[in-house]
Amino acid sequence: MFISPSGGVLWLRNFRRRVFDPAACSAGLDGLTPHELRHTAASLAVSAGANVKAVQRMLGHPFAAMTLDVYSGLFDDDLDGVADRMDEAAAKAAVPPDAPRGNRDSDHEA
């Protein structure tokens, strides 16, 4: 994807020493690693609502299980949101017990 200034292979160690580390230091982020940026990208994707398959593809993991093994803690907050949305859907779908029978099935007619 990226090449060295001479057009050859860009080795991570060289890129880190020559470009990434000085840039991180200039930004006041001394010690930041490219791998930490990868975790940040995954965290931001999950918090933006990305599902595990999208995060898997973004990170290049071969299996969604691998993504869940590494980032499962990020998806925990989703459980509350899912429960809230299910409660909302159930409340909308609820029909009063005294409603005429025809009204109960009207949403399901073709």
Phi, psi (deg, nearest 5) at residue 35: -65, -35
Q: Indicate the Cα dihedral angle 78, 79, 84, 85, nearest 10°.
A: 70
Structure tokens at 75: 């998806």
How large is the greatest C-alpha to C-alpha distance in the chain, in angstroms? 79
CA distance 39 to 36: 5
Regarding pTM above 0.85, the answer is no
Confidence of residue 105 (pLDDT cuts 50, 70, 90): low
The tens digit of pLDDT for each residue in 41-72 reads 888 888 788 888 999 999 999 999 998 888 87
The mean pLDDT of 11-32, rounded to a whole number, is 90
